[in-house]
Structure 1
Amino acid sequence: MTSAIDGIQLTARNVDLPTLGGILERQQARKFDAVVPASRVSAIHGNLHVSGARTTLSLDGVTTSDQIFRPSDICDGGISEKLGIPRQYLRKMREQAVDLYDANVNGWLLRAEDKKYLLRGFTSDDDGEIGIGRALLSDGYRIIDNLDGLTALLRGLRDSGMKVTVSCDLSERRMIVRVHSEEIRSLAPALLSNYRSPFTGKTGADNPVVFAGFVFTNGETGGGAHTFTPQIKIQVCNNGMTLTRDALRAVHLGARMDEGIIRWGEDTKKANLDLVSKQARDAVRTFLDVKFVEKKIIEIEEKAGRKVSKPKETIEFVTSTLRFTEAEREAIFEHFIIGGDLTAGGVMHAVTSVAQTLPDPDAAYDMESVGIRAMELAATA
């Protein structure tokens, strides 16, 4: 699954490394990053105009003009946060009264004239056309681009010498790279003995194998961090049990940046590459380890075996607590019944299997990430 706007592919689901790399390279060529004072930004017809940010070379010399961006929902979220405009009100104005959107944004930009922001965008393929406003961030936000993050991750994996399998997602919020090694495996018979894959019908009793792995995520539009989170992959169904409490997280904070369009030097890129590469090697050493997997399986099994005596009520409690949609609740209940494991562990399996079916990368990531939390809630229901 992919999604594109103005010729820029923004999302991808379940793609391989070469495909993701190609998307990121094409995005890189269209990126616009600038630290701008509030006084140089204005809203006109719902678009952000950055005065003097566009340069044109002609026989008459160099002229400057506005660079124009249509804000994404994420960018509008940044505008809401930075200017103190309630998010729902900003969304309503964009949808129903764009003149009020302009008036409110411009009014609060005027009162913030002494502040600077980092504006991230994609320029249009067509000269002079409107681009995409990706995010409005603090001028102290340290950027680690997805392409650099992916390059560094692969370097760290290569340096580790570990043979791994990789699958990738991309959204406007984050890049998600799932890594697992079939060389690092263990058995989880107690966790899988009653489970049947809703995809293939194969049973965990016949194949209780699990693999060690982790999930690497990186955010370019304000997620605030890149993370390495351990994940145990179940062979029989490809479900991923994500161990969020053991994540390695690095917040994207740095020194305040000077005003102007940002041109990243090779020393900055090298520093980012070195940082992520070292963290990738640490993740491999820590998470791709049989003892680590065996320890975590024991911890999971302590709660996974709790019987679910009232499936409908339990699924309702779990899904409402985790704020899933009605459609997601119905899908989880269906997978729970098909899976045949009427335990708290079966609830976890249902959540993580449904996550695989979701077309939206963020929704799939968010659901997969709370699989163990769903099990814990089911164990107490």
Structure 2
Amino acid sequence: MKSGKTLSELALELERQSETKKDFIASTEVLEMTDTGAMVLEGDTHQEFEIADVAHTQIAARLDIPAKYYQRMRDQAPELLAVNVNGWFQQKPERRMVRTLDGQMRAFLSERYRRLDNYELASAVLPVLKEMGEGLKIVSTELTQSKMYIKVINERLELEVKQGDVVQAGMVISNSEVGMGSLKVEPLIYRLICTNGMIAQDHSQKRYHVGRNAEEGESYELFRDETIKADDRAFFLKVQDTVRAAVDITKFSTIVERMREATEQKIEGNPVKSVELLTKSFGYNGEESSGILQHLIQGGDLSAYGMLNAITRTSQDLEDYERATALERDGSRVLSLPASSWKEIAMAK
């Protein structure tokens, strides 16, 4: 599994961010992109923010500007990009939530976006993980531009996929403050032989960031009132219950049984061609595809189970934590492939 921050490092960064970030509800009529690619917010005070990549993507999507053309203007003609964005801001004004951190506009979201922030989430779930007792171990945490991850295993809950190949149950808790996904609690299968992690995305539980409209006329920093705080407390109590129920023996056994079945689904064709077909289906780049083939051959297990382990092992080689986590989820995609799709991969010549 891809390593990340220590728990102490995560806690310190979450605390720092919670004291620095600011949110605004503002009409696009008071927003203006500059020729240098910054965003100016006019209101009670004039404020200017560098625009993060995620926010650029969201602005392009909201204004229906094709992503490739938006990026081309951003790279080659920033003044043209500003004219386009500002023109649509004025022609079709609407109220949006602008999320900022460290002088950056990090998200451009619906005014109904419900702020389920990482600090509050960690404050809710870490005590629950502690109370769940010995054997529960946080193995990896990270804060990327898009998401927070907390990956946990339960060393007391383990089964064999095959003789000597032991896996442990766990969970991945993830959240995005910038609209790049829901709050999720997903089962994690942790393989002891090579410390691979497979996220069973088909069994995930989600909470979406949708809330009430802000009051009319707001175009200033958004402060939480007691009603919102009470609503959040109730919400995070439900999240705590979800975390307590996440490491479930029945669910774990079901996933492991599916992994056992995968050991019998042999690759009977050319492994190189099998990986090529999988690469095309799953959208891997050349480096990722080469890594999967290498680990498949080195693992010596030419089966669906060997393929999923090759994918999750390759995730450890990637620098980007977000992409590594995506490959950890892809391991479970192998288990979910229709029989006809797996047969095509397994028999590739």
Q: Do the two structures share a fold, i.e. TM-score over 0.5?
A: yes
Query: Residue type matched to 2:265 in 1?
Result: R
Query: Residue type matched to 2:29 in 1?
Result: S
Considering fraction of residues, name the structure with more strand.
1
The answer to whether the 8 Å contact 1:157/1:281 transfers is no
Following superposition, the deviation at residue 85 of structure 1 comes to 1.5
Aligned match of 2:159: 186
Following superposition, the deviation at residue 304 of structure 1 comes to 3.6
The answer to whether the 8 Å contact 1:50/1:68 transfers is yes
The answer to whether the 8 Å contact 1:233/1:239 transfers is yes
The answer to whether the 8 Å contact 2:159/2:256 transfers is no
Separation of aligned partners in 1, 2:192 and 2:325: 19
Aligned 1:329-340 pairs, distance under 5 A: 329-340=289-300
Separation of aligned partners in 1, 2:316 and 2:342: 20
Following superposition, the deviation at residue 296 of structure 1 comes to 1.6
Structure 1 segments unaligned to the other structure (5+ residues): 1-11, 54-63, 124-130, 190-204
TM-score by length of 2: 0.90
Aligned match of 1:194: none
What is the RMSD of the two structures over their aligned residues, measured on CA atoms? Answer: 1.9
Query: Residue type matched to 1:311 in 2?
Result: P
Quote the sequence identity (%).
Answer: 28
Following superposition, the deviation at residue 277 of structure 1 comes to 4.2
Asked if 1:122 corresponds to 2:101, the answer is yes
Query: Residue type matched to 1:105 in 2?
Result: V
Query: Residue type matched to 2:77 in 1?
Result: A
Aligned match of 1:230: 187
TM-score by length of 1: 0.83
Taking a change above 3 Å as real, the CA distance of residues 76 and 302 of structure 1, as seen in their structure-2 partners, is same
Aligned match of 1:174: 147
Following superposition, the deviation at residue 89 of structure 1 comes to 1.1
Structure 2 segments unaligned to the other structure (5+ residues): none
Asked if 1:38 corresponds to 2:28, the answer is yes
Separation of aligned partners in 2, 1:143 and 1:340: 47
The answer to whether the 8 Å contact 1:180/1:233 transfers is yes
Query: Residue type matched to 1:181 in 2?
Result: N
Aligned match of 2:6: 16
Query: Residue type matched to 1:104 in 2?
Result: N
Taking a change above 3 Å as real, the CA distance of residues 22 and 270 of structure 1, as seen in their structure-2 partners, is farther
Aligned 1:211-250 pairs, distance under 5 A: 211-250=168-207
Taking a change above 3 Å as real, the CA distance of residues 28 and 282 of structure 1, as seen in their structure-2 partners, is closer
Please point out which of 63, 66, 75 is paired with 1:83. Answer: 63
Q: Select between 35-44 and 146-155 the one with higher mean Cα deviation.
A: 146-155
Separation of aligned partners in 1, 2:202 and 2:248: 17
Q: Select between 263-272 and 223-232 the one with higher mean Cα deviation.
A: 263-272
The answer to whether the 8 Å contact 1:186/1:290 transfers is no
Secondary structure of the 2:87 match is helix
Taking a change above 3 Å as real, the CA distance of residues 73 and 19 of structure 1, as seen in their structure-2 partners, is same
